[in-house]
Amino acid sequence: MFLELAKMGFMETESKEKFQLKHEDLSHVAEDALDLWSDDCLQRKETAEDLESIVLSQKGPIVIALNGKWGSGKTFFLDRFSKQYKRGKRTSVFFDAWQDDTLEDPLLALIGQLALAFPSGERHEECKEILRCVFRFIKATAANFCKAQTGLDLEALLNPPETFFALYQRGLEERKTIRESLTKLAQKNFEETGAPLLFVIDELDRCRPTFAVSLLERVKHLFSIPHVVFVIGADLEQLKHTIRSVYGDIDASNYLHRFLDIELALPEASPEKFVQMLCQKHQFANHKLGDRSYDFMWLVANQHHLSLREIEKSCRLSAFVSFSQNANGIDAPIFVVPAVVLKVRDEVRYRKFVEWNMAPRELVDLVFPGLTYDQLQYDSRIQNNLMWLLRIYASDAKSRYLNEIDEILSQNAQGHPIDKQSNAIPAFLASETDSTVAEFLESVQNQVKNFGQTINVRYTLQRISERLDFIGPENF
């Protein structure tokens, strides 16, 4: 495989810098970083400060849900927020639920992370004692559950026989001990720091359904104590699906809000600066994508409403493909960027694009879906890139687009109205005047004549398609 990569030119840029197939995860930052928010392209610092003020004002117990869709930057935000809270000499426990969902009971991992938050001293020893109680509690409840479900008495096999009631009573006692110990720990922490003990839970919506539901239930039943605040980042709609997969067709929204006291929404952010950062990280300027690709990537991603995670994947794969793409003097982004975005988002539309068997109207809709004339009027970047796209289309060796434009303009000059439903005219011009449409077509006409080249677009797209197919479907 690596020999094939080298032959294709994927292993280095034109400046001989090694291309990284996978960049480091930038969601997490070192606790001792001088500026936790130095790479905050989405401008979430102010949101973190607002959330911190809310947490500090709470006496607890309270569970705050931070709702954000998949790929909206929740992990980045929660990581920075947790570390920012610590910088005030306060205690924050960051819990990546997905990393520990191989455990049957999330309580073990949650208390384990609490112990790590107090690496030494009296609080650490208290956490270790709580952890011992948790083991005893899980043992008692597991034996109880097993006997109820199967009739098999685990306690009778491992220890002297005990009654079912005795097992139940032992579980109650251990649970009471856990709550009392946690209450004392939270109170001492508050006295020492003047702030609540904060738990930040991430990736809950990616966990096994039973683990996710069990975690919510453990938080509700064992951590409902003063001076404890939970912030849980998740896609709440996905969590509702998780609940239904465990309990069947129930009112998942009502059930979920038994565990959540308040719901906040992670503000949507403009991804423009995020795209700019990714283009720099993936060295777009050092290879065939060039400087123009930043604007084009942003515009296409914005029109397709890509999530931040989809944008990251599109930028990485565009860079990957472009390292081997011999553009032969043709601007590569006009092919690579929409091909990759469509591949990430919609396989059917991607195949339509790379087959290059479409009218101009359909091409514009594939690359810039939902484009309006107002956007075109007020954003010069859209104007430039749309003209760039249609110039390439009209310059294709097999294209008759220039002839169609000549025919439409000739008929209009003779007094005939322009058929705005024609496949030669983009849909965003359908309600505009004939003079507006004619002006647009004349601009395309001039662009093509000034370009003065005939190109084989299908060959270029075939090469791009080969590289995307080579990467494999698991990357999409």
What is the Cα–Cα distance from 38 to 275, expressed in whole angstroms? 16
pLDDT of amino acid 473: 59
Instruction: State yes or no: pLDDT of 325 exceeds 70.
Output: no
Residue spans of alpha helices (H) in 151-251: 154-158, 164-193, 209-222, 236-247
| Of 7-11, 159-163, 463-467, 468-472, highest mean pLDDT | 463-467
Q: How far apart are CA 168 and CA 140, in angstroms?
A: 7
Task: Give the separation between CA 203 and CA 74, rounded to whole angstroms.
Answer: 9
The tens digit of pLDDT for each residue in 237-290 reads: 999 999 999 888 889 899 998 999 999 999 877 778 788 878 777 777 665 555
**The two structure tokens encoding residue 89:** 């000499």
Length of the chain: 476
> Which whole number is the average pLDDT over 81-94?
92
Half-sphere exposure in the Cβ direction for 317 (13 Å, CA): 29
Task: Specify whether the CB–CB gap between 336 and 461 falls below 8 A.
Answer: no
Report how far residue 366's alpha carbon sits from residue 339's, in angstroms, rounded to the nearest whole number. 10
Position 153 pLDDT exceeds 60: no
pLDDT in tens, 400-413: 888 899 999 999 99
Query: At residue 291, does pLDDT exceed 90?
Result: no
Top-confidence range, 3-12, 47-56, 464-473: 47-56
The residue with greater pLDDT, 64 or 152, is: 64
Residue 353: pLDDT over 50: yes
| 1 pLDDT more than 60 | no
First to last CA, the chain: 19
* 403-453 confidence digits (pLDDT tens): 899 999 999 999 999 999 999 999 999 999 999 999 999 998 888 877 767
Long-range contacts of 321-324 (CB under 8 A, 24+ apart): 321/464, 321/467, 321/468, 321/471, 322/284, 322/287, 322/288, 322/289, 323/8, 323/9, 323/10, 323/11, 323/12, 323/13, 323/19, 323/287, 323/288, 324/8, 324/9, 324/10, 324/467
* Amino acid making up residue 319: A
With 90 as the cut, is the pLDDT of residue 139 above it? no
For residue 442, the tally of other CB atoms under 10 A from its CB is 12
